[in-house]
Structure 1
């Protein structure tokens, strides 16, 4: 790791020199003024032009000018676009109304009629951009935007399981194996875990799916001593004890259900997972968290984590982006984004910690350079993170260059991760609505291996019965 890094208090002077570590070096921009991901949120919250839905079926928005002295028509020009699952369908310019300071007015976007396709999501977006060059930004610089999900929708038809290839179930004292066309799914009967998913001979699992309740602390977390207030959950997954394992086959052979139940002694809770394997190669995962007590600390995260082998270096997702998003920091355009797994880690956080999360993900796909991939589809949504670092890596280094270089992919497929907060960085918690209570909770997602000539977006739109 030979990249530059930002030094801070404690890096200068002899050992024992007093410092506040990175306290004055962890804001919204790097020391050389490049934006941190959080600055995108600030810009959207601070923007002076607000659009709100008036009647989305009629394509009508209410526009408010929050400038104190400027007429909107004198300052900006506007464009709009219609997208379907991130792909642009229509676009055009929009006449900016004569709107005095602090006034509002409805406008109608001239979207041409269209018939919604099954399983697709449609979004309407408006963007306001500088009309002329300004001393601080050129003409065309975006100063405000908003995006709205349209009510236009058509349900995706359910897959016909009867037409799927048949499955074979085999069992030994140690493992249960489900074999289908081009794939093999293996469960460890002693541990009660999904240990292997092979597709056309390629292994997609390095380390099995398991419950996960912890995240690497952020600066705000460290400032309020999360290790003390929520440390109960750091190793809550460890020492899981299998209490039940069942393999059930549908009479027609179209699906096989593996039902597992674990006791989590460190969490004082039960965790149940049902894996339904279909002839299509889909593995639908239904997880349930059942704590004994509900007076435990708030959870930093509630979900499942697995490790994928090296080589699955490309991630694509449909959801807010392209920068990282969190429960209380997700003002980002919903779209289809892609990049390398290594680029999901934000190097310029002065001290490493949680990084690269994606909220409200419809689907995410990890692809190997040889073309084989793993698709994860939220039912309906997931919080997803894919990094080349483990959670322990991220909270064991003071500088990013100290992180071990790994090629494996640590993949979190969560229901939710708590907010990152930011009222201050020396004690304030995230707001209550962005915390995760300790209570019985369940969620679902599905996994689907795919090959080079298969489109993950199309596979994600398919619906299982």
Structure 2
């Protein structure tokens, strides 16, 4: 047998200490992070040269594939190696690490010592000063070795051999990059005589009282000075406390002292229970407004530092996210400490996923194979023992997308015996025998509503009316993944949230996912999986986050924040109605501020008294008296933080609502002769060629958009873009059949149709003057031929304008992009932006930058007159320096180059964006059917001295 047979053995490790709680103490600790000597070998045999003086230097923590060695690989479901468990390829890149170190002055010479690795991917064998300590698998979990008696005051050599592939890789087929290396901290810990090695904080809450007991493997003293608590370990005490919750993360800090060591305690009192099919914390129902979070950074992969973790937590809190599903592995322990401190509910998920066994029809799936039982149990135990003392962890998850198997029953029974204080989640075994929640991924809106009513059909493999079915139907429901945030999207977030809040069964939902998994390319751009020359590959499927890879929030995050904002504000009927959507706290930490805008221009402001409104309570206050204005007059009410918090300063906006106080009076139509109007047309084609001193080309009917990721569906399902291309919507040709003048109207009739097809769209454009500076355009569209079930991406007209136009000002929804199913985050107001800033830089170029329900738009540029567009009553618009066709052809943002025109789309409507890249089909109400349409808009031109005449702005 080779000396690296352990790589392919079923054993999870050897020589390791038993799992225990992660904690911080004042005992000596030596970080071994930093520069290590490194050599990469092509096979599991590793380096044969023991003289490391000529080896490279590699920082730890890191992934060697992101430091110039080998290459990262991305798969979604398939394994990147042959499915032949537990064997792995002979081509198994193996990194040998060496760390030379001395003990610091004052290191206790005779103390017990522990060597800890927080995370190594995927298998590590360890030597210290020539002594083999053992090996470990389970990449996202810690492991420790007792190194007492092996240390020297100086000249220590720690050697670690890390294998890219191992039998453990079969349990780690999560939707993520395969990134080998020592990617979390390495530490040497001194353990004083008589110190506590492991302890368990039991801190429950009931009716204003907290009950505390700290069990430990050695006697010690527990102190919480703020509560006046000083008791021995193992002794239970009950005292008045404030409970811990994600909304009010009350921690009581203290110490556990034993053997001369002081261990820091951060105790949060809370009780998690399931009563009558509802999830309760501290006796009240909670609703997770969550995200799935992979650990990711475009430069460092999963080797995150505390500052990056804190940045994530602060962004989540500022966008009203209250829960994290640690997908699909336990996070760095520092992240959980931040969740304890800042307040986030956590579903802690084990480092288990065997998704790739779908390609073997689940034959040999490890959870159902006895040979894997120890490896699976080892991962469950290491997760629970490490994280058991975190109040933020309220649910254990057995893993993700690993089918069914007896191992999950064993795991759930072990957890219930070890920690009966937390419920258990597992989604993929649809009997839910081992789960305290019913759970599915990506249901449609209709299916979710049926689930809320407990009327969903029995899943496949479960007999309707059977005990399994009856138990399942009585469980609370946790929507562990929905709203796939790939590219431009997701849509329908408000619709989903409305259903989640309508039924008591729901305990919350987690958007997939927090951040795009783009990796920094050598040219400074971003790689996705398809950019790596390796098959199989998950392609762009790793770009599916509410944050771009550099942690810039996407428009989807703003929409999600609005959908889940903790106070619902409705302005109507002379009252400002308030719905407290918090689960625990009242509104006393907020201020209410109001602003009145006339046509988007602020005219009045003030504040309102905040009523006492308990969690989930309803109330209202009188609306300020606001007279009607000359334009649309809107009252906006904002709830902002009254004082500074750890995650945002006073004045940070928490929620907002708007109400229309008075509508704009219709502008009188001033009629005159086309000959004296601002518009000039080509007499042969009827094309608008000038508007005043502006050179214009168009308009032409436009029904195409560069498909968003959700238009492509998934795996052949819900592929709207394919249907559009099959019909030919991406290659429409335009014909003019008739140009005629009737009175003061110009009528242009034509047909737009794709090559090779008998179907088309008949168009009639009617132009007439609307004053000295304006011209009204009425568009009628009539379909011809058999369009079957095809829908339209958009319906509107497109104009080519001078490249010198540089800035847009509009009254309508903004400031960010919005679509028919993703507009809750866009408030009504007057906004302005540079045209070059109005494109969202999705890493795979696609339709973006739309603005729904626009009343008027002005485009301006140096030494050019202002172009105005007014709706009747409103329109959608996008404005960019490239066409939709160029956007469609681009595969990277660097492919997009400014043309010699500005392209303006004035749309009657555009189809919604949905979530079909990994989710249900776009709901019918957000589709744009092929049908007769008519719409009207007014184009105007004016100069700086009379700009207000362009749109009446």
Q: CA deviation at 1:217?
A: 0.8
Partner of 2:536: 18
Matches for 1:369-384 after TM superposition, within 5 Å: 369-384=862-877
2:676 to 180, 197, 200: 180
Q: CA deviation at 1:277?
A: 2.8
CA distances 1:212-262 after superposition (whole Å, capped 9, x unpaired): 11100111113343331222565477333333221123xxxxxx2111211
Q: CA deviation at 1:94?
A: 1.3
Say yes or no: does 1:5 pair with 2:515: no
1:127 to 629, 635, 638: 638
1:260 to 748, 751, 773: 748
| 1:53 to 1:78, Cα distance in 2 relative to 1, 3 A | closer
1:37 to 555, 564, 575: 555
Matches for 1:129-168 after TM superposition, within 5 Å: 129-150=640-661, 152-153=662-663, 155-161=665-671, 167=673
Partner of 2:861: 368
CA distances 1:95-129 after superposition (whole Å, capped 9, x unpaired): 11111111111211223x42432xx1011111111
Q: Within 1, Cα distance between the matches of 2:940 and 2:545?
A: 39
2:737 to 232, 240, 243: 243
Q: CA deviation at 1:208?
A: 1.5
Partner of 2:722: 228
Partner of 1:63: 578
Whose strand fraction is larger, Structure 1's or Structure 2's?
1
| 1:69 to 1:354, Cα distance in 2 relative to 1, 3 A | same
- Judge conservation of contact 1:351–1:400 (CA < 8 Å) in 2: yes
Partner of 2:486: none
Q: Within 1, Cα distance between the matches of 2:788 and 2:747?
A: 28
| 1:81 to 1:243, Cα distance in 2 relative to 1, 3 A | same
Q: Within 1, Cα distance between the matches of 2:617 and 2:813?
A: 30
| 1:69 to 1:366, Cα distance in 2 relative to 1, 3 A | same
Say yes or no: does 1:309 pair with 2:836: no
Q: Within 2, Cα distance between the matches of 1:98 and 1:131?
A: 15
What secondary structure sits across from 1:140 in the alignment? coil
Partner of 1:203: 694
What secondary structure sits across from 1:312 in the alignment? coil
Q: Within 1, Cα distance between the matches of 2:580 and 2:688?
A: 56
CA distances 1:306-327 after superposition (whole Å, capped 9, x unpaired): 2112111211111111111111
Partner of 1:101: 615
| 1:22 to 1:154, Cα distance in 2 relative to 1, 3 A | closer
Q: Within 2, Cα distance between the matches of 1:4 and 1:194?
A: 43
Q: CA deviation at 1:186?
A: 1.7
Q: Unaligned stretches of 5+ in structure 2?
A: 1-521
Partner of 1:252: none
TM-score, normalized by length of structure 1?
Answer: 0.85
Partner of 2:570: 52
Partner of 2:321: none
Q: Within 1, Cα distance between the matches of 2:935 and 2:901?
A: 26
| 1:193 to 1:245, Cα distance in 2 relative to 1, 3 A | closer
Q: Within 2, Cα distance between the matches of 1:146 and 1:268?
A: 43
Q: Within 2, Cα distance between the matches of 1:357 and 1:157?
A: 26
| 1:4 to 1:324, Cα distance in 2 relative to 1, 3 A | farther
Structure 1 range deviating more: 355-364 or 45-54: 45-54
What secondary structure sits across from 2:779 in the alignment? strand
Q: CA deviation at 1:296?
A: 4.4
Larger Rg: 2
CA RMSD of aligned residues (A): 2.3
- Judge conservation of contact 1:358–1:383 (CA < 8 Å) in 2: yes
Matches for 1:384-463 after TM superposition, within 5 Å: 384-422=877-915, 424-426=916-918, 428-456=920-948, 458-461=949-952
Partner of 2:545: 27
Q: Within 1, Cα distance between the matches of 2:636 and 2:523?
A: 38
| 1:195 to 1:16, Cα distance in 2 relative to 1, 3 A | farther
TM-score, normalized by length of structure 2?
Answer: 0.43
| 1:153 to 1:219, Cα distance in 2 relative to 1, 3 A | closer
Q: Within 1, Cα distance between the matches of 2:644 and 2:650?
A: 4
Q: Within 2, Cα distance between the matches of 1:195 and 1:237?
A: 22
Q: CA deviation at 1:389?
A: 1.3
- Judge conservation of contact 2:808–2:859 (CA < 8 Å) in 1: yes
Partner of 2:606: 92
Number of residue equivalences: 422
Q: CA deviation at 1:143?
A: 1.0
What secondary structure sits across from 1:230 in the alignment? helix
What secondary structure sits across from 2:889 in the alignment? coil
Partner of 2:44: none
Whose helix fraction is larger, Structure 1's or Structure 2's?
2
Q: Within 2, Cα distance between the matches of 1:68 and 1:184?
A: 59
- Judge conservation of contact 1:248–1:258 (CA < 8 Å) in 2: yes
Q: Within 1, Cα distance between the matches of 2:902 and 2:523?
A: 21
- Judge conservation of contact 2:840–2:848 (CA < 8 Å) in 1: yes
Partner of 2:814: 321
1:295 to 784, 788, 809: 788
Q: Within 1, Cα distance between the matches of 2:572 and 2:600?
A: 23
Partner of 1:114: 627
What secondary structure sits across from 2:917 in the alignment? coil
Q: Within 1, Cα distance between the matches of 2:818 and 2:547?
A: 17
Q: Within 2, Cα distance between the matches of 1:123 and 1:442?
A: 28
| 1:11 to 1:238, Cα distance in 2 relative to 1, 3 A | closer
Q: CA deviation at 1:4?
A: 4.9
| 1:105 to 1:403, Cα distance in 2 relative to 1, 3 A | same
Q: Within 2, Cα distance between the matches of 1:217 and 1:23?
A: 15
